[in-house]
Structure 1
Amino acid sequence: MTTAQQLNTQFGIKGQLSFREDASGLVVAEINNAQATASLCLQGAHLMTWQPKSQAVPVVWLSRDAKLAAGKSIRGGAPVCWPWFGAHASESSFPGHGFARTVPWNVIETGTEPDGATRLTLRLVESEKTRAQWPHSCTADLTVIVGETLRMELTTENTGKEAFVIGEALHTYFQIGDIGAVRVTGLEGCDYWDKVGGSTLRKQDGAITFSGETDRVYIDTAAECVIEDDRLKRRIHIAKSGSLSTVVWTPWTEKANKMGDMGQPDGWREMVCVESVNAIDNVVTVAAGTRHTLIVEYSAESL
């Protein structure tokens, strides 16, 4: 495994990007430029935090009880769900949301954008274990561009001779004032699978508000979503391409208590997930020799 010192020598950017080893032994990239701060764990290519310097509080939420550990996912940030979303279609022993968020990724490129934002590109490391779960020839790359906005690009390239089907998500947790005082707009009139209501198909009426556990997969939508947060006096914009599903999720009290890492007793009230996804009706077929890219750009607007 490449050490933090080696990564700093090869990929560090003075005054912008450095690598450190966490107490867990995992390597974390730390970004601090003129526009924003962010941190990303190389295991899972897992963006953990992002805060534009124009914002008094972070935009991406990380649980105060989040733990970094080899082979374990991190609670909060923007987990990469790939190459399937939710439970595996046929193998119940395979991990939910795929293996990408718990395996090593390598840094393959870093740089500075013309506007001063910091760019970091990582590639999933294949192993016997990943090939046993995903026997297709391909690469998975994640590019993260950290500035006043946060841009994430998840690219799957089929390097084999046969088409394959992927499900995927950027499962992003957002910092909010209180779950009972936010609205999510942009999905009015969309059909969604209600996972709390026994996986029934429903239609969204008006803005999304929260008064209990919510787990919905909105389908056939490329719409921009906005989290309207009266408590923190801001709007978070989520604009995407290459994604036709959006998941909106909050665990609420009972489920959060069972998780144990949501930041007890009420950390779950300070987050909501609005995920850019391809799942269920919108899984993606990647033909041989082609690539598919899911792109999301996040921005925050003070009110």
Structure 2
Amino acid sequence: MTTPQLVQQIKAKKSFLCIGLDVDLTKIPTHLLELEDPIFEFNKAIIDATHDLCVAYKPNTAFYEAYGLKGWQSLEKTINYLNEKHPEIFTIADAKRGDIGNTSTMYAKAFLEDLNFDSVTVAPYMGKDSVEPFLDFENKHTILLALTSNEGAFDFQTNPEVSGVSEELYKTVIKTSKTWKNSQNLMYVVGATKTEYFTEIRKIIPNSFLLVPGVGAQGGSLSEVCKVGMNEDVGLLINSSRGIIYASAGVDFAQKAREEALKIQQEMQEILK
């Protein structure tokens, strides 16, 4: 998917919501556990109930890898269902991969070619030769971990002593990434709990899309993120996972998920006005 196609979908749906498909078998409705593939059936129900309210879905691959081969098959069925039924929706493999050379190439092929996701999250710590293999894929996006929403982000990412150039490490990462081959295919993860940094980030990458986790359960504010992070093309994908998909543990889970997604979409629609 190209960036203009993503922007077009945002305008059409009046939404920049990304729904995280982080499936924990201990949290999904118990009646699904009787089915052959409860993970896929849960995802399918969530997708069917919310696809018109969001522009992206983001399965975190750890929630599938934890269940071995069956979990991976559930992930494959989920992305195939999305690509077949809703090809206009942007898909994110939240895999946070990071390695060098041929290993990165194989990770890239796994998610962007074999599974055919539109994008994949990548850790930048090992530098350009760990990221550029992902950037080689046409009309695919690499979402670089820039400034994350967790408490440990302060250990390195906002510490100027780590980079050794008298500026916070996250700034060095973002600035350096702009020099890499096919950097136009980059997006960036910036946590919603770090709104005080958005203005500086937008000075460096004013036109890039930001994937923003941390709204809702982690305490981030949608309105505050939009005030400091939005650009002319919106430029934001706001992720919500637990607050939507686990809105109910009963047979009405999909309808309750829709209700929660609708609340966010309506707030986004007002912001877009």
* Structure with the larger RCO, 1 or 2 (CA within 8 Å, 6+ apart): 2
More helix by share: 2
More strand by share: 1
Q: TM-score, normalised by structure 2?
A: 0.27
